[in-house]
Amino acid sequence: MTEQASLDDELTLAETWMKAGKEVAIATVVSTWGSAPRRSGSHLVIDEEGNFEGSVSGGCVEGAVVAEAIDVITSGEPKMLEFGVADETAFEVGLSCGGNIRVYVERVG
């Protein structure tokens, strides 16, 4: 699947969830530095129950983004998240080789 097809699938899913009456947030990778599993523009779609589709990183980062997205859905306030770790612990949280990512999370709908 191409990156554009994946993006289309995630945004279509967000629209489908909203039409079904779910509250939805979209997390978007806005910048990366060093080694990061996903490129800028990658998306994760999350509903108020914590269901999600797509990916912004993997590992513990993904779980942290889902938790923050639920807060964003509740508050309506967008957030800019930043994740970065030292090389020794990077793999444990899903940022191999000490990468750094910034993820913007916003409620949609």
pLDDT tens, residue by residue, 24-67: 999 999 998 877 778 889 999 999 999 999 989 877 788 999 99
Q: For position 97, what pLDDT does the model report?
A: 55
| 2 vs 43: which has the higher pLDDT | 43
Give the three-class secondary structure for 106.
strand
Q: Is 98 left (phi over 0), alpha (psi -120 to 50) or beta?
A: left
Q: In what order do the strands lie in the sheet with 43-47?
A: 52-54, 43-47, 24-33, 100-108, 79-84
Out of 11-20, 22-31, 87-96, pick the least confident: 87-96
**Rounded Cα gap, residues 2 and 92, in angstroms:** 28
Q: For position 10, what pLDDT does the model report?
A: 87
Please give the residue range of the domain that contains residue 15. Answer: 3-108
Per the structure, how many domains does the chain have?
1
Q: For position 84, what pLDDT does the model report?
A: 79
Q: Side-chain half-sphere of 3: how many Cα atoms within 13 Å?
A: 7
Q: For position 57, what pLDDT does the model report?
A: 85
